[in-house]
């Protein structure tokens, strides 16, 4: 019996973009374009006739902007929404707000100037739509706006750890965190709970280039700890969280007692760049038993094998539980590999981290 395809409604004011997205989506045998709309009003009329499984939504459109439309959808009839936006600075800030309002995922609008870029965009878009179709979306009340295809493994970027268990134990703990679909809100809820002197943290959240800058700035405004987008050579220190920049792998390194990050280009790993597996493998190699690994909500299996490598090197490992995940993909795969020492709901993870870090 043929499985039911995921039906997608494309909402974008550009006819060229609607056509390009239609071709990308239709090329995947699991996806189907239900229809297209040039603005939110046209989208509403189509939704009255048939409810799509996923909506792809542009932010800047005539008659009603995408953000307003998103807030109305999520407050009245929640449907998984993937924001497909351009890379302007204003657009990234609005995109981060869209995630706060309930969008499942945000990806960059494909630009037709390179075969590799088109292929990578196709992978991102199709994976994001499939992840959104699995997501648990909740009704959100409208409140005042507050401004504050190849699948490489980590071998493609970093050789496997030697598993010598020879890493010298230090007093400093390093925390490595991986998240994808639903992770922006999960990370916010988690990081807000941490005190200013918590262990140093390195995070991979699957997110496009430039959006990670706005995401880090937003978290820095909300949290007691310092949050910044990682730059090559940044030290991993107490009271600071470094977020891997979109489109770059981020690895933990060690020089003497100092931990720092290396930010570099490389092939997609598990269809992602940055990849959680790359971060976790480097943490296993350079921190060993000095590390704590955390895998959060997200589609796919990026990070599962890396978390197991961390556990095998003596690190403590945590996976988010199914009930609190938007998509129980990455944690589920890690749990299946027996990579997680502990499986916890999101609201218990910060306090547990602080307990085992001392």
Tens-digit pLDDT profile for residues 279-303: 999 999 999 999 999 999 999 999 9
Contact in structure between 322 and 166 (CB atoms under 8 Å): no
Catalytic residue among 12, 28, 234, 302: 302
In a domain, 10, yes or no: yes
Annotation says 77 is catalytic: no
Mean pLDDT value across the chain = 88
**CATH number assigned to the domain comprising residue 126:** 3.40.50.2300
Dihedral of the CA atoms 108, 109, 114, 116 (nearest 10)?
50
Give yes or no: residues 200 and 89 share one domain.
no
231 and 292 housed in the same domain: yes
Q: Which of 19-28, 62-71, 265-274, 335-344 has the lowest mean pLDDT?
A: 62-71
The single residue of 39, 206, 214, 301 carrying the catalytic annotation is: 206
Whether residues 282 and 249 fall in one domain: yes
Q: Which residues contact 37 (CB under 8 A, 6 or more apart)?
A: 9, 10, 11, 43, 45, 46
Cis bond leading into 274, ω under 30°? yes
Residues 59 and 112 in one domain: yes
One domain, residues 105 and 168: no
Report yes or no on 116 lying in a domain: yes
- For residues 10 and 22, is the Cβ–Cβ distance under 8 A? yes
Residues 192 and 81 in one domain: no
Same domain, 165 and 122: no
Based on the fold, state whether residues 236 and 328 are members of the same structural domain: yes
Query: Where does 14-132 show beta strands of DSSP type E?
Result: 31-37, 54-57, 81-85, 105-108
* pLDDT confidence tier of residue 147, bands split at 50, 70 and 90: very low
- In this structure, is residue 149 part of a structural domain? no
231 and 308, same domain (yes or no): yes
**Same domain as 125, residue 161:** no
139 lies in some domain: no
Residue 302 is among the residues annotated as catalytic for this protein? yes
Poorest-confidence range of 27-36, 113-122, 271-280, 292-301?
113-122
| Most confident among 70-84, 105-119, 258-272, 342-356 (mean pLDDT) | 342-356
DSSP label of 337: T
Domain extent, residue 349, equals 156-357
Whether residue 225 has pLDDT greater than 80: yes
Q: Are residues 126 and 174 in the same domain?
A: no
Catalytic residue among 20, 85, 121, 180: 180
DSSP-derived letter for residue 235 is B
Catalytic residue flag (residue 121):
no
Instruction: Please tell me the total count of domains within the chain.
Output: 2
Please indicate whether residue 39 or residue 62 has the higher confidence score (pLDDT): 39
Question: How far apart are alpha carbons 230 and 131 in whole angstroms?
Answer: 26
- List of residues 6+ apart from 301 with CB closer than 8 A: 270, 329, 330, 333
Is 147 part of any domain? no
As a whole number of angstroms, the distance between CA 348 and CA 149 comes to: 36
Query: Residue 176 maps to which CATH number?
Result: 3.40.50.180
| Residues 293, 160 share a domain | yes
């Amino acid at each position: 019996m043929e499985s039911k395809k995921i039906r997608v409604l494309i909402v974008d004011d550009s006819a060229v973009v609607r056509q390009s997205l239609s071709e990308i989506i239709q090329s995947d045998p699991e996806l189907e374009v239900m229809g297209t709309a040039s603005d939110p009003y046209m989208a509403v009329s189509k939704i009255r006739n048939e409810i799509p499984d996923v909506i792809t939504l542009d932010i800047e459109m005539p008659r009603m902007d995408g953000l307003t439309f998103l807030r109305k959808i999520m407050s009245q009839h929640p449907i998984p929404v993937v924001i497909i936006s351009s890379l302007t600075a204003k657009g990234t800030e609005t995109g981060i707000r869209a995630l706060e309002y309930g969008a499942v995922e945000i990806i960059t609008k494909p630009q037709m100037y390179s075969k590799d870029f088109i292929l990578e965009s196709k992978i991102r878009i199709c994976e994001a739509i499939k992840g959104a179709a699995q997501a648990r979306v909740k009704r959100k009340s409208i409140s005042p706006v507050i401004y504050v295809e190849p699948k490489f493994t980590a071998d493609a970027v970093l050789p496997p750890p030697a598993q010598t268990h020879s890493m010298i134990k230090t007093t400093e703990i390093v925390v490595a965190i991986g998240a994808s679909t639903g992770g922006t809100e999960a990370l916010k809820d988690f990081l807000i709970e941490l005190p200013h002197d918590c262990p140093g943290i390195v995070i991979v959240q699957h997110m496009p280039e430039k959006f990670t800058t706005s995401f880090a700035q937003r978290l820095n405004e909300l949290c007691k700890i310092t949050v910044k987008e990682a730059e090559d050579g940044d030290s991993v220190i107490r009271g600071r969280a470094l977020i891997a920049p979109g489109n770059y792998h981020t690895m933990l390194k060690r020089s003497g007692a100092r931990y720092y990050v290396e930010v570099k280009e490389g092939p997609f790993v598990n269809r992602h760049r940055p990849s959680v597996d790359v971060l976790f493998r480097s943490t296993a190699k350079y921190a060993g038993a000095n590390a704590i690994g955390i895998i959060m909500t997200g589609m796919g299996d990026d990070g599962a094998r890396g978390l197991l490598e961390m556990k095998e090197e003596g690190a403590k490992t945590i996976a988010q539980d199914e009930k609190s995940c938007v998509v129980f993909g990455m944690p589920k795969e890690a749990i299946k590999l027996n990579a997680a020492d502990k499986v916890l709901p999101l609201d218990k993870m910060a306090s547990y981290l602080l307990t085992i870090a001392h």
